[in-house]
Amino acid sequence: MDAEQCLNFFKSQHSLEINLMDLELITTNFRDLRNLCATKGFKAQSDIASCPGLVEICLNIMRTLYFNSDVEKYQKPFNIGIQFIGNLLVGHSINKANIWIKYFNDLRNWTFNENLKTRNYCEMIIYNLMLDIEDVEEHICKDTELLERFILDATNELEFACFIMEKIIANNLQIIYENITNDECLRLLQIVNKCLTENHSYLSINAVSFIKETTQQYLEKVIKIDAVPFIEANIAAEFLKMTSNLSYNPQYKSLLQSDSPFITFILAKLSAVHKMGLESVNVFAPVTQLEKMESTDNHPLHLIKGLLIRIIGNLCYKSKIIQDTNIEIDWMLKCH
C-alpha cells in the first residue's frame, strides 16, 4: 500500500471513537509505512513525509491509541506506529528536524509508558534525533523528569536509554548531575562507571575535571570519625570508583598524573584514612578489626582506602616523579 492509499485509510479512521476503529487495518497500514521506509529508503521517507497531512493524521491516531494503551489490543498498533516514525527519520535530516519541532513532546510523553517495548522504541527515536540535532541534548539536560526516566531505564539496561545516557554523559555530566535528586545521582554515577569499565566510553576533559573535583569535595565530607549520611557515603564511593577507573584508563591517566595538587590530596587522604583506622574501630579500620563494629557490613566507606591505594598505584605507572614521591612516604608500606 502506498502513502496516498494509507492517507485515505487513516482519514477514514482518525475522527472515529476508538471502539469503532479498525485496529487490524490500522496495524497493517502502520506496518506498510514502516516497511516502505525501511526497504525503499530516502525516497520513500521523503514521499511519505511530503504526503499532505499523512504524518499528522498518523500522530493523531497514535495519540488516541496511547491514551488507551493500558488495554493490550491498542498497544500493538501503537508500537508499530512508533516504529514507523522511527524508520521515517533514520538517515533523513529533514524528517528528523520536522519530528523534533512538531512531535517531540509526544515522544517525551510516550517515554513514560509502562510498556518496555514502547519506551525502548521512543528512546530509539530520541537517540536518533540527538545524533543530528544538538538542541535535543540541550533540551533533555534541562528536563529533570525525562532525565530521570532515562537514568532509570539505563540502570535497567534498556538499550537506547543506555545509548542516550552515554552520549549525554560525555559532555554534560555536571549539568545533569546538578539537575537530579541524590537517589538518581547515585544511579547516574553507576551508569558512568559502567560506561568507563564496560563500554570504554568517551568523556570530555570537562567531565573528567568535574569527576576529579567532586571526588575531592566528597572525600572532604566523608573522611571523618563522625557518621555520615549513607547516601553521601555511597555517592563518595561511586565518585572515587570513577576516579579510580579514570586513573587506569590510558585516555585519562595523564590528565590526573599532571595534576600535582590532586596527587598530593589523594596521598593526604590515604594517610588520614590509614591513621583513623589505626586510632579507633571505625569504617576505616583494617578488615581484621571490623568484626568489633556493629552494622558495618557492606558500608560504602570500607572501599575508600583500597580505591585510594589503587589510584596512587595507577598514577605511579610510568611516572618517575610520582613514584619518587611515594617512595619517600614510609607509612604507605604499612597500609593494609
Residues 78-94 pLDDT 10s: 999 999 999 999 999 99
* Core vs surface per residue 172-190: b (16+ CB within 10 A) or e: bbebbbebbeeebbbbbbb
Average pLDDT on 295-315 reads 81
CA angle 267-315-284, nearest 5°? 40
pLDDT band at 320 (very low <50, low <70, confident <90, very high): low
332 three-state secondary structure: helix
pLDDT band at 248 (very low <50, low <70, confident <90, very high): very high
Report pLDDT for 199: 79
Neighbours of 330 (CB within 10 A): 7
Closest of 314, 272, 315 to residue 282, by C-alpha: 272
d(CA 216, CA 149): 29
d(CA 164, CA 272): 39
d(CA 233, CA 230): 5
pLDDT band at 200 (very low <50, low <70, confident <90, very high): confident
> Percentage of the chain surpassing pLDDT 70?
88
User: Which residue's entry shows cell 529533514?
Assistant: 94
Q: Whole-prediction pTM value?
A: 0.87
How would you classify residue 282: left for phi > 0, otherwise alpha for psi between -120 and 50, otherwise beta?
Answer: beta
User: Which residue's entry shows cell 519530528?
Assistant: 99
The string of DSSP codes covering 147-203 is: HHHHHHHHHTT-HHHHHHHHHHHHHHHHHHHTTS-HHHHHHHHHHHHHIIIII----
Looking at this protein, which amino acid is placed at residue 198? E
